[in-house]
């Protein structure tokens, strides 16, 4: 069935013949395998450009920073899925990735769009303090959270933030969006009446935008990183199962607040 006007697929990423696989204009075997590390190759695929040293350092650092943070919800979902369907590793990884949505890992993208938006207003001649205040007031008026600020565990300072900013500075990355992110952090109390510190979801776009990583693909960074973390967790799950134990623990205090037929009594303690 024809949907839309375009009927011919096109791509500029990869082509091949019997002898050669071409990726972004390079010969995969001659120019990429053994020459680029995996994260750099990801940057090349995504942008069509080889990363410079700063981009390589910063992209690898951001990926390492968010690959793993313990039994977060997406890891739990993946481990429960693997416990139930151990023949399909790819299914358990997919279940975990599906949690990279707007609330949790997608905040990297939303924060990045905020930074780009404020930067564009500043480029258009609005003073930075005013551009920041406008953006925060708008979020407040719409009762939306500030993407990338606040963290349930690290109340004071997510330690990954400082480290990512240090890596970016050492690598010689453009720090404009880092400074912007910090200026937003400083402006939050006046608008929202409380401290909300930069978390890793804001630090990631702040450093990546300074090395030419495209804002449209920011959500790809946590997705790729978490895929690596999920594979490690599923290897542990295969050796030392926790998936069903997690689901058991999760419901020990479950409250049923619906109706029941006359005479029905729950068994012993709540399940």
Which of 24, 146, 185, 205 binds a copy of itself (CB under 8 A)? It is 24
Nearer to a copy of itself, 159 or 189 (CB): 159
Please check whether residue 112 is in contact with residue 209, taking contact to mean a CB–CB distance below 8 angstroms: yes
Distance CA 238, CA 243 (A): 10
Of 197, 221, 209, which Cα lies nearest the Cα of 116?
209
Name the CA dihedral angle for 250, 255, 257, 258, rounded to a multiple of 10 degrees: 50
Is the CB of 122 or the CB of 228 nearer to a copy of itself? 228
Shortest spacing between CB 75 and a copy of itself, in angstroms = 9
Cβ contacts of residue 190 below 8 Å, gap of 6+?
none
Beta bridge partners of 27: 22
Q: How far is the CB of 206 from a copy of itself (least distance, A)?
A: 14
User: Residue 78 in contact with residue 233, Cβ under 8 Å?
Assistant: yes
| Structure tokens, 89 | 């590793």
User: Whats the size of the chain, residue-wise?
Assistant: 271
With respect to a copy of itself, which residue has the nearer C-beta, 27 or 129?
27
Within positions 114 to 153, which residues make up the interface with a copy of itself, using CB under 8 A? 152-153
Residue among 83, 118, 180, 211 that touches a copy of itself (CB under 8 A): 83
| Binding region for a copy of itself (CB under 8 A) out of 114-122, 131-139, 159-167, 178-186 | 159-167
Q: Which residue in the set 54, 55, 105, 206 belongs to the binding site for a copy of itself (CB under 8 A)?
A: 105
Beta carbon nearer to a copy of itself, 131 or 167: 167
User: How many CB atoms lie under 10 A from the CB of residue 205?
Assistant: 29
Question: In whole angstroms, what is the distance from residue 96 CA to residue 138 CA?
Answer: 33
**Residue 220 Cβ vs a copy of itself, minimum distance, rounded to whole Å:** 4
Query: What residues between 229 and 268 interact with a copy of itself by CB under 8 A?
Result: 229, 231-236, 238-261, 264-267
Based on its alpha-carbon atoms, the radius of gyration of the chain, rounded to whole angstroms, reads 23
Site string (36-55) toward a copy of itself, x via CB under 8 A: xxxx-xx--xx-x-------
The values of phi and psi at residue 3, to 5°, are -125, 120
- Range 197-226, binding a copy of itself (CB under 8 A): 214, 216-217, 219-220, 223-225
Return the residue of 54, 55, 93, 146 that touches a copy of itself, per CB under 8 A: 93
Map the footprint of a copy of itself across residues 169-188, applying CB under 8 A.
170
> With CB under 8 A, what is the number of residues at the site for a copy of itself?
144
Phi-psi region of 212 (alpha: psi -120 to 50; beta: other; left: phi over 0): left
Minimum separation from the CB atom of position 209 to a copy of itself (A): 15
Of 102-110, 124-132, 135-143, 180-188, which segment contacts a copy of itself by CB under 8 A?
Answer: 102-110
Q: How far is it, in rounded angstroms, from Cα 49 to Cα 40?
A: 10
């Amino acid at each position: 069935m024809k949907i839309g006007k375009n009927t011919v697929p096109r791509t500029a990423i990869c082509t091949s013949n019997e002898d050669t696989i071409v990726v972004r204009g390079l010969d995969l075997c001659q120019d990429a395998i053994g020459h680029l590390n995996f994260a750099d190759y990801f940057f090349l695929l995504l942008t069509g450009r080889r990363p410079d040293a700063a981009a390589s350092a910063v992209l690898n650092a951001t990926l390492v920073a968010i690959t793993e943070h313990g039994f977060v919800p997406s890891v739990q979902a993946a481990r429960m899925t693997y416990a139930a369907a151990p023949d399909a590793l790819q299914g358990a990884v997919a279940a975990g990735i599906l949690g990279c949505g707007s609330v949790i890992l997608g905040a990297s993208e939303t924060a990045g769009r905020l930074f780009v938006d404020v930067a564009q207003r500043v480029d258009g001649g609005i003073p930075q303090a005013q551009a920041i205040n406008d953006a925060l007031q708008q979020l407040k008026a719409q009762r939306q959270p500030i993407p990338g600020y606040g963290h349930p565990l690290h109340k004071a300072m997510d330690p990954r933030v400082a480290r990512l900013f240090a890596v970016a500075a050492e690598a010689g990355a453009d720090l404009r969006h880092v400074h912007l992110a910090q200026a937003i952090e400083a402006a939050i109390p006046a608008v929202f009446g409380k401290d909300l510190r930069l978390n890793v979801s804001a630090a990631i776009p702040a450093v990546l935008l300074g090395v030419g990583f495209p804002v449209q693909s920011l959500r790809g960074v946590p997705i790729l990183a978490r895929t690596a973390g999920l594979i490690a967790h599923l290897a542990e799950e295969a050796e030392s199962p926790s998936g069903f134990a997690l689901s058991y623990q999760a419901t020990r205090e479950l409250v049923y607040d619906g109706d029941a037929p006359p005479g029905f009594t729950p068994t012993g303690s709540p399940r």
